[in-house]
Structures are given as structure tokens and as C-alpha cells.
Amino acid sequence: MAEGAVVVIGGTSGMGREVAAFYAGQGRDVVISGRDAQRAQAVATEIGGRTVGIGLELAEPEEIGTRLRGVDRVQHLVIAAIDRDENTARDYDVKRAIRLATLKLVGYTEVVHVLHDRMGESSSVVMFGGLAKDRPYPGSTTVTTVNGGISTMVHTLAVELAPIRVNAIHPAIVGDSPYWRDKPEAVLEAFRSRTPLGRLVCMRDVVDAVAFLLENPSVTGVNLPVDGGWLLM
């Protein structure tokens, strides 16, 4: 039996929100976070069920413990938050780079640090990386670096926190996510034509894969690409 809530950090939008809605639909206690507590609570009300919203800024990791004080027992933890930068080595915005590196590498880890002793033996963590780690594009310097960091972070956390399981998911471009869905059709088609399946990943596929990683008792330390075969071409 599940003991504790499903906590989704970065659950007010995109794939985090879809994961939260999936578990809320199963009657589970769900906690979602965004940067602003009021907005997070408004989204939690939209999701419905037993969902509550909290405010938490991952780029200020010293505050994370305080922000998570109200969270009780945790069955599953999903960390999906992102505040993207577009950074190149030639035109480098140090502040943006520090912010994203802190958010994903220190902020994600601090959330796990704060919540791990509220988790049980059957609990698990899924962190979001992304295939920019393998398929860089101009401007992805920080995004590529931090998503690469996620792929090694899950290895150490899976060892340190066992029997709590820790895995990462690395989607390719998710065509119906808020970040991509309004991009020009020509841009999306260029990606679509480079996948064996001839279709972009959709948020439902990602939710399905997250649930697999969260629930399967034999899977830990795994970096799962969800990419329609993109890496093969």
C-alpha cells in the first residue's frame, strides 16, 4: 500500500503538472510546487482531488528546507522544474548559467536531501534530465551540461539512498509541452523527420514512463530516454 504523498517539484506546468494530474486522478495525495505559492495552489485546485500547492525557488537552495517544512510522508518524489537559459560559450551569460546550474544540480539534490528521511523503503525518486545532454544545439551549453549532470547524479543517489530507488528520465522534444507546442510547424517537422517513428514524444508518453520508473521495484540508477528512437538517427 502507498504510504505518503506524490510530490512533484515543478508541478505547475508541463510534464510535472501531467504527472501530478495522473496521480491525483488515482486518488493519491499530491503536492505540487512552483516558484509562487499562490499560483501553485491555484493550479493544485485546477488539478483537483487531494492536491495542494507550495512555493519553492530551486535557485535558492538554502531556503528549500524551510519551504518543504509542511510536507509530511513522501511515497514518490518527481523533480521536473526548469528555468531554461539560452547560453553559448561565445556569448555567455554567467548569471543565467549560475541560476540554471544551481537549480538543477544543487536544488534538485537539496530537495532529495530534505525529503529523503520522510520516505520509506518502497519510495522512489524520478528526476528530469533531457536529451540535450546527447543532442546539443547552439545555445544549449548550460542545458546540455546540467542534463548530463542529472545522468550521473542518479547513479550516486541510487547507491547512497538505497533501498529508496532513484532514476532519471530524458525526454526528447515533447511536441505538446508548453515550451514546444507553439513553435513553428517547420521547426517541429525538422525534429519529427529525424525520428524513426516519425512522431514527436507527447506528454502522456512521458507520464507513462515516469510512472514505470516510480513503481517498478527492480529499477534504480537508470537513465531512461523517451525519444521515439531519436538517438538512433
Ligand X SMILES: NC(=O)c1ccc[n+]([C@@H]2O[C@H](COP(=O)([O-])OP(=O)(O)OC[C@H]3O[C@@H](n4cnc5c(N)ncnc54)[C@H](OP(=O)(O)O)[C@@H]3O)[C@@H](O)[C@H]2O)c1
Out of 22, 23, 128, 230, which residue is the one contacting ligand X (CB under 6 A)?
Answer: 128
* φ, ψ (nearest 5 deg) of residue 75: -85, -50
Out of 4, 171, 225, 228, which residue is the one contacting ligand X (CB under 6 A)?
Answer: 171
Query: Cell numbers of 165, please?
Result: 530507488
Closer to ligand X by Cβ: residue 180 or 212:
180
Contact code string over 20-59 relative to ligand X, x by CB under 6 A = --------------xxx--x----------------xxxx
Out of 5, 71, 81, 210, which residue is the one contacting ligand X (CB under 6 A)?
Answer: 81
Other beta carbons less than 10 A from residue 85's beta carbon: 21
Q: Which of 15, 8, 13 is nearest to 205 (CA)?
A: 15
Decide: is 195 part of the binding site for ligand X (CB under 6 A). Answer: no
Closer to ligand X by Cβ: residue 2 or 106:
106
Contacts 24+ apart (CB under 8 A), 152-156: 153/105, 153/108, 153/109, 153/127, 154/127, 154/221, 154/222, 154/223, 155/221
Closer to ligand X by Cβ: residue 35 or 118:
35
- Bridge partners of 220, per DSSP, are none
Contact footprint for ligand X (CB under 6 A): 10-16, 34-36, 39, 56-59, 80-83, 103, 128, 130, 171, 173-174, 177-180
